[in-house]
Structure 1
Amino acid sequence: MKIKPVPEALVGEALTSGISPLYELHQIACELPLNVLSDVKQRIGDWLASGGKETDPYIKRQVAYAQKVYQALKGGEIG
């Protein structure tokens, strides 16, 4: 499966949604392939361990990527 980078517009939506990015990830986690979920969780964990915050744009980009994979698996457009 080839997935294009997350568009900046989608990241912008995630930045203004008001819902915790980690909550959004939690909502779709059981539907994601294990390798995608493991990678996203590892990246988020590393970011937080290095002093980053839950609401940082980096976290939101990771969640936006997971959402994009989720949509692709559900038959939505990938890019």
Structure 2
Amino acid sequence: MNIKPVPVELVGETLMNFVITYNPIDVLQHIACDLPKEVLTDVRQRIHDWLVSGGHHTDHYVRQQVAYAQKVYAAMGGGDLVV
């Protein structure tokens, strides 16, 4: 069997494309039940305000809010998720 190695540059590019295209709202929905009510309410309100002001659900600000929720989730023993 002749398996050719994949160039590192291609792997990095593929990973970056994944990071850019995933929907952070899906991640938040996945962990929502395990978050404290105060954290979930705050994060959802911030994201809602951002979207109403013309932002997009894949903007850096939304990702930052979801990353915070994930850190709380991980600190509570829920494990890690990709952001």
Q: Give the TM-score normalised by structure 2.
A: 0.69
Q: Could you say which residue in structure 1 is the equivalent of 2:64?
A: 61
Cα offset for 1:17?
Answer: 5.8
Cα offset for 1:19?
Answer: 2.0
Task: Choose from 29, 32, 52 the match for 1:29.
Answer: 32
Distance 2:30 2:36 in 1: 14
Identical pairs, percent = 56
Distance 1:54 1:38 in 2: 17
1:1-79 equivalences in 2 (<5 Å): 16=19, 18-74=21-77
Cα offset for 1:16?
Answer: 1.6
After superposition, the CA RMSD in angstroms is: 1.9
Distance 1:17 1:70 in 2: 22
Cα offset for 1:18?
Answer: 3.3
Structure 1: tracts of 5 or more residues without a match: 1-12
Q: Highest relative contact order (Cα 8 Å, sep 6+), 1 or 2?
A: 1
- Which one-letter code corresponds to 1:16 in the other structure? V
